[in-house]
Amino acid sequence: MQRRILAWFQAHRRALPFRDDPDPWRVWVAEVMLQQTRVEAMLPRYREFVARFPDPATLAAAEEEAVLAMWSGLGYYARARALHRAARRLARGGGEIPRAAAALKELPGVGEYTAAAVASIAFGEAVAVVDGNVRRVLARLFAVPGAPGRAAFERRIRELADELMRAGGAADPGAWNQALMELGALVCLPKRPRCGECPAAGACRARAAGREADFPERAPRPAATVVSTTRGVVRDAEEGLLLVRRRESPLRGLLDFPGGPCRAGESPRRALAREASRRYRLELVPGRALPPFPHQIMHRKITVFAFEATFAGASPDRLPEGARWVRPDHPPGIAAGAIFRKVLRLLPAP
């Protein structure tokens, strides 16, 4: 079975930039970016990021704002901050990326999955990777009961992953780990597995029982939290846009239009004026409403209400710390989140 999976991987694997040249730094960056992000969305940002920061030392020397700007569009910015902290720790210790998974896990933001991926792909350590794709493949191959996240299920999947690494994966640990992940990404899909294309279909216990859709079990999803937030678009005389520096997680450090969450029963206009004053000491008067739009972060369903806005009086002599005026044609190079860019697309041409 393992030989068939490896042969399938060699014939069908996607051409990803870190596979032909498994440089440890490039593998590390790619694996961090791929967490919570699809390959298609990751690749353009990955190429730009490693071109700007070709090694940990270059990233360590950069300011956080520059790092977040290069990450802009990928979301989950805590990943970028952790990678930045890890690079700075390496720089203080001589700059070498640890070769062993155990040592990699000592770095900020590097968990068991990332450590195993880097150690196996870049350094050939025989350590098994377990991600969502691997969990699904192994749960079906061996008909493992239970749902991801539950202790008994996770323990059994880890045992199987380690056993397969010892049995046939250790000859090329990086290829074996990538083959399992690729099989889950391309063939052993969550809802409609392509069993007719699977090199391991003949050995799959779930397939033999006609129950491939039953494995792994699906844990109940937490109920979505429904909230509203506001943004105010303020222009100066030269048609620049007023941006503020967010201080709260998960947007900390990003530039954005001023605003914040609505309270229960509060109108978006009132919320904008209150949040701009409370957070940034900006007295804003909401004007024309832009079309509201949905935005989702994990299990939070957000409705965004944006307004063109003006100052209640004269323009302030001094902007809040971190705030700035930005020309509308310049934002692609700044550290800004998805809500900012969605609002930007709603603005009429100056």
Q: Annotated catalytic sites, by residue?
A: 31
Q: Which amino acid is at 307?
A: F
| Distance between CA atoms of residues 196 and 202, nearest Å | 10
Q: Is the CB of residue 118 less than 8 Å from the CB of residue 28?
A: yes
Identify whether the C-beta of residue 118 lies closer than 8 Å to the C-beta of residue 96: no
Alpha helices in 146-267 (DSSP H): 151-164, 173-186, 205-208
- Rg over CA atoms, the chain: 24
CA–CA distance from 124 to each of 111, 174, 179, 272 (Å)? 18, 6, 14, 53
Residue 167 carries which DSSP code? I
The closest alpha carbon to 121, from 27, 8, 185, 39, belongs to 27
